[in-house]
């Protein structure tokens, strides 16, 4: 996220060790002026409310009109269920956004019908439709079917689920860290997430948990149809024909539109360890690229 001349990078981390901590994941926070040299700040989001008492999982930032950044993120509640929460900066005049507060109505979204309660996570950056409503997609699973579930809201607090999946694939399991954004047809510049006209096409990125790889699809955003959804040019085949952002150990990527340079910038997680014990011995794990 780019805010008041500062790049912000938020990431999951375990404050108690070098391996994934199901009982206490937090959101780390680092800032930079050039995307190369980074300074670590205090953790931005920690377990503290009904909607995230057991952990704070992945999510995304959206900057609302008037330069108002908001975070939608997945929390693990006291029952071990995955729910969606909202966090806001305490001080919008602070370019480093060092303090965050949680919305008193958290959790704002719980698993809808047709979605498993422990496979409902990773809200995307939101975009605003032609009707003025905000939209967000969330990764989900029902049996072997992976889904991206669409929600709409007038105020970013009260969300209504679309009963039809925005995108679904059979036999893949949960769709983690979904991303949805437009790209210009005839330009290499990036474009704001909300843009929707004849000059752009849309990209859907899915991190398939069972394959632990990131795939993307180019296609049509059917926003004016009776069933709002994404229609890919090519379906997922589980073969070499599927498009990937990277062909190494690259997973759970997130992008943002950089208003300063008119670029879309993609961050991803690289697992560089050989084993869990290797990470424990080193005292750290994971690279961001």
What per-residue confidence (pLDDT) applies to 154?
98
Write the CA distances from 281 to 13, 24, 147, integer angstroms. Answer: 17, 20, 37
What per-residue confidence (pLDDT) applies to 90?
98
Distance (Å, rounded) from C-alpha 114 to C-alpha 117?
A: 9
Instruction: Kindly indicate whether the domain formed by 2-288 is annotated with CATH number 2.115.10.20.
Output: yes
Q: Is the pTM higher than 0.85?
A: yes
Distance (Å, rounded) from C-alpha 205 to C-alpha 24?
A: 27
Whether 164 contacts 98, CB under 8 Å: no
Distance (Å, rounded) from C-alpha 243 to C-alpha 75?
A: 30
Distance (Å, rounded) from C-alpha 1 to C-alpha 31?
A: 10
Structure tokens at 46: 């920690």
Parse the chain into domains and list their residue ranges.
2-288
Is the pLDDT score of 255 beyond 90?
A: yes
Q: What percent of the chain has pLDDT over 90?
A: 89
The string of pLDDT tens digits covering residues 150-174 is 999 999 999 999 999 999 999 999 9
Distance (Å, rounded) from C-alpha 217 to C-alpha 46?
A: 33
What per-residue confidence (pLDDT) applies to 281?
86
3-state secondary structure of 278: helix
What per-residue confidence (pLDDT) applies to 24?
87
**Which of the pair, 287 or 139, is modelled with greater confidence?**
139
- For the residues 29-42, what does the mean pLDDT come to? 98
What per-residue confidence (pLDDT) applies to 282?
85
What are residue 205's phi and psi, to 5 degrees?
Answer: -110, 135
- For the residues 182-199, what does the mean pLDDT come to? 96
Rg (CA), the chain: 18
Structure tokens at 263: 């670029």
| Residue-by-residue DSSP string for 93-135 | T-TT---EEE-TT---B---TTS-TTSEE-PPPPEE-TTS-EE
What per-residue confidence (pLDDT) applies to 102?
98
3-state secondary structure of 199: coil
Whether 90 contacts 41, CB under 8 Å: no
Whether 147 contacts 116, CB under 8 Å: no
Q: What percent of the chain has pLDDT over 70?
A: 100
Is the pLDDT score of 267 beyond 90?
A: yes
């Amino acid at each position: 996220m780019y805010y008041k001349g500062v790049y912000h990078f938020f990431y999951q981390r375990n404050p108690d060790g070098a391996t994934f901590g199901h009982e206490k994941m937090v959101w780390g926070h680092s800032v930079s002026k050039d995307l190369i040299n980074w300074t670590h700040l205090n953790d931005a989001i920690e377990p503290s409310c009904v909607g995230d008492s057991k952990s704070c999982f992945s999510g995304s930032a959206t900057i609302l009109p008037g330069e108002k950044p908001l975070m939608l993120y997945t929390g693990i509640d006291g029952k071990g269920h995955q729910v969606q929460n909202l966090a806001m900066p305490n001080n919008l005049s602070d370019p480093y956004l060092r303090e965050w507060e949680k919305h008193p109505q958290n959790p704002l979204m719980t698993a809808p019908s047709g979605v498993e309660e422990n496979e409902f996570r990773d809200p995307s950056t939101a975009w605003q439709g032609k009707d003025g409503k905000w939209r967000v997609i969330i990764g989900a699973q029902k049996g072997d079917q992976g889904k991206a579930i669409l929600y709409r809201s007038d105020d970013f607090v009260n969300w209504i689920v679309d009963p039809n999946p925005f995108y679904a694939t059979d036999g893949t399991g949960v769709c983690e860290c979904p991303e949805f954004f437009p790209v210009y047809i005839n330009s290499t510049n990036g474009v704001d997430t909300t843009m929707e006209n004849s000059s752009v096409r849309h990209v859907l990125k899915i991190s398939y948990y069972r394959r632990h790889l990131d795939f993307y699809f180019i296609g049509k955003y059917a926003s004016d149809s009776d069933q709002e959804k994404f229609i890919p040019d090519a379906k997922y085949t589980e073969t070499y024909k599927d498009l990937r952002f990277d062909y190494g150990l690259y997973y759970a990527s997130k992008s943002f539109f950089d208003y300063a340079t008119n670029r879309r910038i993609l961050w991803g997680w690289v697992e560089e360890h050989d084993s869990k014990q290797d990470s424990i011995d080193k005292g750290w794990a994971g690279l961001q690229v």
